[in-house]
Structure 1
Amino acid sequence: MTWHEARTYCRSKYTDLASARNVSENKDIRSVVTDSNWIGLHRDTWAYWSNQRPRTFTNWDESQPNEIRQAENSCAAVSTSAGTWWDVDCNTKNHFICEKVYSRKKQTFKLKFRSEADMNDAAAQQQLLEQLHAQLEKHGLSDFKLRWTQKDGQTFHKEPKKKKSEGSCG
């Protein structure tokens, strides 16, 4: 598959394309591949894996990455011969390796936002959920649930404005 097709497949079936955060993980990837394989690195300055984790480790082959290729067409593949990474045109069809996260930790986030809309209106709530869902997926998150919680019988409430405390000189 192309790099983008492989990433879509991995995200739908597993977690994402594999990432190598250190020498050990790079060796693990190399040990299970038999050909050149896509990994989850795309040239957006090569700074982040496709799962949005910062890239802190590299194993580029000599003279790689290819600085001549346009950024939107540059994706990383791991070579089985040396376990080094190559800058390859993203539209090339390669094998790929997915990773799966087994231990899922529940995370809860509180969001604060301002809106002129009546957020007690069910249609406005649904529209906001859809927008949040789209943004999370755009940033690589695919396995999540969004829901409203209520406090004192209300889903949304205005927080009282905090009074600015007056400074004093000592």
Structure 2
Amino acid sequence: MMEGIWLGVCCLSGWLILPTCPLHQYYFIKEPLTWNEAQTYCRQKYTDLATMENADDLNQLQRLLSSSGHNSGVWFGLYSKINWKWSDGFTGSGAEYRDWGTNEPHFQMDHFCVYKYTTWSSYNCDSELKFSCYTGTPDNHQLVPVTKAMNWSNAQKHCRENYVDLATVTNANQDQQVGKLVPYMGFIWIGLFRDPELYWSDGSSFSWSNFDHFKTTISSNTVLCGLTSLQKSMIWRLWYCEERKPFVCQLTVRRQVVKLRIDLGDSSVDLNDAAVKAEILEKASVQTAPRDVRNIQSRSQDEGKRAFK
């Protein structure tokens, strides 16, 4: 069964001063699908999976889910590519070597850099740790311990200016050599990192987020997908895209400017009065609503079910 709930308003501007017009109209789809299946459905029936660019969008989607009575996780349009790289750009034999610890690596905002302790862990790149540079080549190199703690970017800069780069680790023997530094240095930055690579399904630029400190184990996944819920106060998480969840589509609305010429029989009428504005908007909304919005509003639930089948 495929159920859709519509939430949106008609926005006018011109001679009247009105609230900000939402650019996205959201539709809750109850049928659980994988993230990719949900994306395909939304692109066929609406515009795309839901994008949230500010707190107003988040609040609008929250009201929609509240009206639907659905509290658990729903897909929306955010996703992240998982692509670990070495600081020196090494891609040869051994570049895929890893010594991850239990539940590592994980996704958490800003945890895009890697340190060595007993095993490897992803960590906040702004944290200041000691680190290991190298001289020579990635295949045949000598480690250079640096005992002054720096964040990952500054550690990278220091290694590049004074040696070759942060340590590249391509096999168990090299990993053991870094491990020998741990007893007197503690946590040690190495050269492995990944870019944030956060994207919206509709191609919007990523500039606002609502993540918490929840960790998602990445394992062998190369992509994680956006999940939110009323139960978790609309906090965003990245989750496993192949799980089946309900989802939220969006219809992207173009702003519409409408100028109204009003003949007043009574000169005492105040156009700034809230009740007068509301009456004018009510009379104008049907004529000014975008055609595609009116068409979607007129769909019955039965039609939506048949379209999904």
Residue 165 of structure 2: aligned partner: none
Distance in 2, Cα, partners of 1:15 & 1:51? 8
Q: Which runs of 5+ in 1 are unaligned?
A: 106-170
1:101 shift after superposition: 1.6
1:79 to 197, 209, 229: 229
Residue 166 of structure 2: aligned partner: none
Count of matched residue pairs: 104
Distance in 2, Cα, partners of 1:12 & 1:104? 22
Q: Which runs of 5+ in 2 are unaligned?
A: 1-32, 82-195, 257-309
Asked whether the equivalents of residues 214 and 237 of structure 2 are also in contact (C-alpha less than 8 Å), the reply is: no
SS of the residue 1:7 aligns to: helix
Residue 161 of structure 1: aligned partner: none
Asked whether the equivalents of residues 30 and 78 of structure 1 are also in contact (C-alpha less than 8 Å), the reply is: no
Let me know the Cα RMSD of the aligned residues: 2.1
Report the identity percentage. Answer: 30
Q: 1:91 to 1:42 in 2, by over 3 A?
A: same
Distance in 1, Cα, partners of 2:217 & 2:207? 19
Residue 49 of structure 2: aligned partner: 17
Residue 6 of structure 1: aligned partner: 38
| Structure-2-length-normalised TM-score | 0.31
Q: Does 1:97 align with 2:248?
A: yes
Larger Rg: 2
Residue 88 of structure 1: aligned partner: 239
| Structure-1-length-normalised TM-score | 0.55
1:2-33 CA-to-partner distances (Å, cap 9, x unmatched) read: 00000000000000000110111111112212
Residue 213 of structure 2: aligned partner: 62
Q: 1:93 to 1:52 in 2, by over 3 A?
A: same
Q: 1:87 to 1:69 in 2, by over 3 A?
A: farther
Matches within 5 A, 1:126-137: none
For CA contacts below 8 A with separation 6 or more, give which structure has more relative contact order. 2
Q: 1:104 to 1:5 in 2, by over 3 A?
A: farther
Runs of 4+ in structure 1 deviating by more than 6 angstroms, as ranges, are: none
